């Protein structure tokens, strides 16, 4: 048991070191840095209006039955403090709840165009088909802002994104702050962001020498020329984890990618129950494993070894198990801090990891049953 305890401690030492490239700086420094950067760039926009127009941007919003959230999203985009030409294209993907009418009513700027999606062709996911039609209606802006109908943007968001891109990046993305109010959200959402940044460390994403590429689909700014270079949205048309696939395609084409957290960019989508969050995780978990049963087995064993074994060793009286559990809690604390949760939640990470493990297994079962990637009535994998 001593050797096993030492091994799991070494795993957590490594994860804490890797956290230095991922969750730690992102959750301690990036939100404030992003907000400060946005404010500076907003001021710069105002100071340079006399010099001519800034880079043109068109926001693309795919929307399917988003009546509950779309008005806030449209109002936040219409209220951007940005000196350049800015348009919004919302693609109504066969909504039955009045999404398009609500979006039009929320637009006080006159910059919104609503496009009705054509029937979904074979080989495309619904979201990416809608995005591709939005891109086709966008014309030829310098940048495209790919965002979701549940994302609310602070006034300086667009200025900050463009200015960040102008430092030499072809794709810039903010991880939106997810809603964390219901008991299920408070228990599970901080871990969702923590696990994401362990898989996709922002420092590795920015490093052109590394293959790691990631983005957060709720808020992606991409150069139109780069999107055309990789073959447009069609290059990732069947991808379920489309944001990371797009970032990967950009990086493979020689582009530079930046991903960070934003305190002000928020998702207002509700996940009121554990079941709703479980289905959100399950929708793409097996896709992340490339639909491989072998990778699924390895993932389950790896999660059990990393997150559950320290608890078992501690119960068995092994001090190294307790040390590993402590290191785990330390590693998780920045995510809790970002979501303003008590550090007393940190020792519960093994229980939360067990929930995510169960969702991953459920994702595989759903795929094997032919119901993989179920989202708003559409099966997108299987």
What pLDDT is recorded for position 363? 94
**Crossing angle for the helix pair 319-338 and 2-19, to the nearest 10 degrees:** 20
**Residue 142 and residue 55 in contact, taking contact as beta carbons nearer than 8 Å:** yes
Residue 33 vs residue 314, higher pLDDT: 314
Q: With bands split at pLDDT 50, 70 and 90, how would you rate the model's confidence at 52?
A: very low
What pLDDT is recorded for position 263? 87
* Model pLDDT for residues 106-139, shown as the tens digit of each residue: 998 899 999 999 999 999 999 999 999 999 999 9
Q: With bands split at pLDDT 50, 70 and 90, how would you rate the model's confidence at 28?
A: low
Q: Point out which residues pair with 173 in neighbouring strands.
A: 220, 259
* Model pLDDT for residues 315-334, shown as the tens digit of each residue: 999 999 999 999 999 999 99
Residues of the chain with pLDDT > 90, as a percent, come to 79
Interacting residues of 59 by C-beta distance below 8 A, sequence separation 6+: 77, 86, 87, 88, 89, 144, 145, 146, 147
Q: What stretch(es) of the chain map to CATH 3.90.550.10? A: 30-267
Share the mean pLDDT of the chain.
Answer: 89
Pick one of 3.90.550.10, 1.10.260.40, 3.40.50.2300, 3.40.1640.10 as the CATH number of 30-267.
3.90.550.10
* Model pLDDT for residues 322-374, shown as the tens digit of each residue: 999 999 999 999 999 999 999 999 999 999 999 999 999 999 999 998 876 66
Q: With bands split at pLDDT 50, 70 and 90, how would you rate the model's confidence at 45?
A: very low
pLDDT of 309 higher than 60 = yes
pLDDT of 43 higher than 90 = no
What pLDDT is recorded for position 42? 40
What pLDDT is recorded for position 109? 86
Closest by CA position to 158, among listed 254, 237, 41: 41
d(Cα 327, Cα 9) in Å, to the nearest integer? 8
DSSP characters over 49-110: GGG-----EEEEEEESS-TTTHHHHHHHHHT---SS-EEEEEEE-S-SS-HHHHHHHH--SS
* Model pLDDT for residues 208-243, shown as the tens digit of each residue: 999 999 999 999 999 999 999 999 999 999 899 999
* Model pLDDT for residues 176-200, shown as the tens digit of each residue: 999 999 999 999 999 999 999 988 9
What pLDDT is recorded for position 90? 98
What pLDDT is recorded for position 51? 32
pLDDT of 248 higher than 60 = yes
pLDDT of 303 higher than 90 = yes
Token couple for 317: 């009286």
Q: With bands split at pLDDT 50, 70 and 90, how would you rate the model's confidence at 1?
A: confident
Lowest pLDDT segment from 21-35, 71-85, 313-327: 21-35
Q: How far is CA 342 from the centre of its chain?
A: 24
pLDDT of 306 higher than 80 = yes
pLDDT of 54 higher than 90 = no
Burial 57-66 (b: 16+ CB within 10 A, else e): bbbbbbbbbb
pLDDT of 146 higher than 90 = yes
pTM to 2 decimal places? 0.90
Q: Is 24 helix (H, G, I), strand (E, B) or coil?
A: helix
pLDDT of 39 higher than 50 = no
What pLDDT is recorded for position 44? 42
What pLDDT is recorded for position 374? 61
């Amino acid at each position: 048991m001593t050797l096993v305890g030492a091994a799991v401690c070494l795993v957590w030492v490594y994860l804490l070191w890797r956290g230095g490239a991922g969750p730690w700086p992102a959750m301690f420094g990036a939100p404030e840095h992003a907000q400060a950067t946005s404010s500076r760039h907003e001021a710069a926009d105002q100071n340079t209006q006399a010099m001519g127009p800034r880079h043109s941007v068109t926001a693309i919003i795919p929307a399917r039955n988003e009546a509950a959230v779309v008005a806030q999203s449209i109002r936040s985009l219409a209220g951007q403090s940005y000196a350049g030409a800015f348009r919004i294209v919302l693609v109504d993907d066969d909504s039955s709840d009045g999404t398009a009418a609500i979006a039009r009513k929320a637009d006080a700027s006159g910059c919104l165009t609503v496009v009705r999606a054509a029937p979904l062709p074979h080989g495309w996911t619904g979201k990416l088909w809608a995005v591709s039609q939005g891109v086709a209606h966008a014309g030829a802006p310098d940048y495209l802002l790919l965002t979701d109908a549940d994302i609310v943007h602070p006034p300086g968001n667009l200025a900050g994104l463009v200015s960040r891109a102008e430092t030499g990046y072809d794709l810039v993305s903010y991880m939106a702050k997810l809603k964390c109010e219901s008991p299920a959200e408070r228990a599970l959402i901080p871990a969702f962001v923590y696990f994401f940044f362990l898989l996709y460390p922002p420092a590795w994403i920015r490093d052109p020498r590394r293959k790691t590429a990631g983005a957060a689909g709720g808020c992606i700014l991409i150069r139109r020329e780069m999107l055309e270079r990789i073959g447009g949205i069609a290059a990732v048309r069947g991808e379920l984890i489309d944001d990371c696939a797009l970032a990967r395609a950009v990086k493979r084409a020689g582009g530079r990618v930046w991903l960070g957290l934003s305190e002000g960019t928020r998702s207002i989508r509700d996940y009121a129950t554990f079941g709703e969050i479980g289905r959100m995780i399950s929708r793409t978990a097996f896709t992340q494993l490339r639909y491989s049963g072998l990778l699924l087995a390895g993932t389950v064993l790896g999660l059990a070894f990393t997150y559950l074994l320290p608890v078992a060793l501690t119960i068995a009286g092994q001090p190294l198990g307790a040390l590993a559990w402590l290191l785990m809690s330390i590693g998780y604390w920045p995510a809790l801090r970002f979501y303003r949760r008590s550090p007393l939640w940190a020792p519960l990470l093994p229980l939360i990891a067990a929930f995510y493990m169960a969702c991953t297994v459920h994702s595989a079962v759903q795929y094997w049953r032919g119901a993989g990637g179920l989202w708003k009535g559409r099966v997108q994998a299987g």
